[in-house]
Structure 1
Amino acid sequence: MMKLSGFADEISPDLMQQITVCMDEGIKHLEFRSAWNTNVLKLNDAELLKAKTALESNQMRVSAIGSPVGKIGIMDDFESHLRAFERAIHAAKVFDTKYIRVFSFILPQGDDWRRHRDEVMYRMKQMVKRAEEANVILLHENESGMYGDTPERCLDVLATCSSPNLRQAFDPGNFVQSGVKSTLEAFHVLKPYIEYIHIKDVTLHNGKEAPAGRGDGQLTELLMQLQSMRYNGFLSLEPHLVYSGMYPDHTPAELFVIASQALKEILQHIGEDWT
């Protein structure tokens, strides 16, 4: 049985509104990225505990820390970024989740990625070592403009670091935006490392986000593949529909519901239960 989660800060900066909409949709987890207009890594200890109390009192949990770790330039200072990474580990412990989302660093536009590979691997290995010590799992998200924005370079990061504490958060929409022609082929390349799924769909002709199943991310086929594997992990909604322009008259909360309902329609179509 697959578990639904989501970046509920797309609903509202207000945590209670995030919780209410998710509860109404039967979603029992959040991928915690921000609350009260503040990124999770910038929340102080009192605010983290306030958020934890609000979630627990509504029988909700955190599926992962949706951190921006690794979402800096490859030539930006890394030592100060490691301090932010420590804050992500702290937040994971507060919310009792083993997962922290990370990225593999922004490359200078137009540069040959080979020039930066050694530095990417050095930084990723440093973070993986700390993750191993802290007993947390880093979820590497593929994203356009990063070192890991193609299946092959994602695989390079995962295989080079070679640790059970580094897995792949597979984002089909981001692959489409990176020009990957088949997310299904990308899935098979990364299959041994995939431990978490972001539900984002994108239409290839304009690179805009769409509800699950209505773009070119092959969401139905991907979910069927997961079903055949008896995947019981998270499907985390990150629809970004507010940016698509497809629903100009809808509130962010309404857009999140549209995204949630689109995912559930696919799950019902393939006969997959969810919780």
Structure 2
Amino acid sequence: MTDVSEPVVSWALSGFGDEIDPDPAVQVAVLQALGANHIEVRSAWGVNIVDLDDEQLDTLAGVFAERGMRVSAIASPIGKVDVALPVQHEVDRLGRAIAAAQRLGARYIRLFSFYRGEGVPVESIRDDVIERMRALAAAAEEAGVVLLHENEKDIYGDTPERCLDIVESVGSPALRLAWDSANFVQVGVAAPFDDGYALLRPHLEYLQVKDARAATSEVTPAGEGDGQLLQTLTALRDDGYTGFASLEPHLTDVNALGGFSGPAAFGVAGRAFRRLTDQIGVTLA
């Protein structure tokens, strides 16, 4: 009898290692215990990825190689600065993120689309944002890496419409989108899947996994907030998505380097996400 079972859909599980612990060895151990073979690198030993020197990068690469861990993305802070800074300011910092990506064997670099001064209307910074994003994308094209714009609070590209504006206006194969349901909820997008998925799916190349409650902006494990995670994951499955799903729980603290969860809360987040993917028949590896 012919086997007519459904094909297996598999996504690569990753996670922000520094949400677990400053020590990369601990980061890797917890991620591997959750079944992940990749790590997203934002900082190590309490030092941001763009500030690690060559020796530290070599040490970090050795930690990953010894433990069989690969890097899904460099979670850089590029674009998380005021748009009034010169264009070259972030292009230079991107150069350090590119060096880290090349040393660690990562194709993707996460970035943002700039803050603005207090009281400055978001529409007034559009042209400056597009100019800077074009310069960053040109540098990425030359280096052979792909930039992933993350929708984030208080930057230009915080809503689905402005994310689309950025990626379509820049028009570079080196600039794609990361999807973060929690961040959409926290900027007032009432139904991220309904309001943004179809709009952004042609440009979506990376999934960051966290959820949030609209009433309080509290970040929650996947499926426990208002981010329409289950609908989004189901649509990605049906669309043939085969990329990364990166845990970014933000469950206990937010600091200068980003969110923090600790090993226990990170495990809670990982198991919550796996319950959703199990429900829709997606395997994580």
* Class of the TM-score when normalised by the shorter of the 2 chains: over 0.9
Deviations 1:169-192 (A, max 9, x none): 011100000101111021111010
Corresponding letter in the other structure for 1:145: D
1:25 CA drift (Å) = 1.0
1:77 CA drift (Å) = 3.6
Which of 15, 37, 44 pairs up with 1:35? 44
Is 1:68 the counterpart of 2:85? The answer is: no
Q: TM-score, normalised by structure 2?
A: 0.92
Counterpart residue number, 2:246: 236
Counterpart residue number, 2:225: 215
Deviations 1:82-123 (A, max 9, x none): 221100011110011110001000122332222111110110
Distance 2:197 2:118 in 1: 26
Counterpart residue number, 1:258: 268
Distance 2:180 2:119 in 1: 23
1:26 CA drift (Å) = 1.2
Distance 1:273 1:86 in 2: 35
Counterpart residue number, 1:269: 279
1:78 CA drift (Å) = 3.5
Question: What are structure 2's unaligned runs of at least 5 residues?
Answer: 1-9, 255-260
Counterpart residue number, 1:248: none
DSSP 3-state at the match of 1:262: helix
Q: Is the 8 A contact 1:141 1:171 kept in 2?
A: yes
Q: Is the 8 A contact 2:91 2:139 kept in 1?
A: no
Counterpart residue number, 1:12: 21
Q: Is the 8 A contact 1:201 1:213 kept in 2?
A: yes
Deviations 1:52-73 (A, max 9, x none): 1111111110000000000001
- Compute the RMSD of aligned alpha carbons: 1.2
Q: Is the 8 A contact 2:35 2:284 kept in 1?
A: no
Corresponding letter in the other structure for 1:57: E
Distance 1:130 1:253 in 2: 36
Corresponding letter in the other structure for 1:135: G
Is 1:186 the counterpart of 2:196? The answer is: yes
Distance 2:207 2:79 in 1: 19
Is 1:171 the counterpart of 2:173? The answer is: no
Bigger mean CA deviation after superposition, 77-86 or 99-108: 77-86
Q: Is the 8 A contact 2:24 2:44 kept in 1?
A: yes
Distance 1:127 1:155 in 2: 17
Q: TM-score, normalised by structure 1?
A: 0.95
Distance 2:279 2:225 in 1: 17
Deviations 1:176-221 (A, max 9, x none): 0010111102111101000001001001110010000000011111
Distance 2:111 2:217 in 1: 23
DSSP 3-state at the match of 2:177: strand
Is 1:24 the counterpart of 2:33? The answer is: yes
Is 1:59 the counterpart of 2:68? The answer is: yes
Counterpart residue number, 2:207: 197
Distance 2:263 2:98 in 1: 29
DSSP 3-state at the match of 2:282: coil
Distance 1:113 1:28 in 2: 39
Q: Is the 8 A contact 1:104 1:124 kept in 2?
A: yes
Q: Is the 8 A contact 1:109 1:145 kept in 2?
A: no
Distance 1:213 1:109 in 2: 34
Counterpart residue number, 2:138: 129
Aligned residue pair count: 269
Corresponding letter in the other structure for 1:44: D
Distance 1:110 1:197 in 2: 32
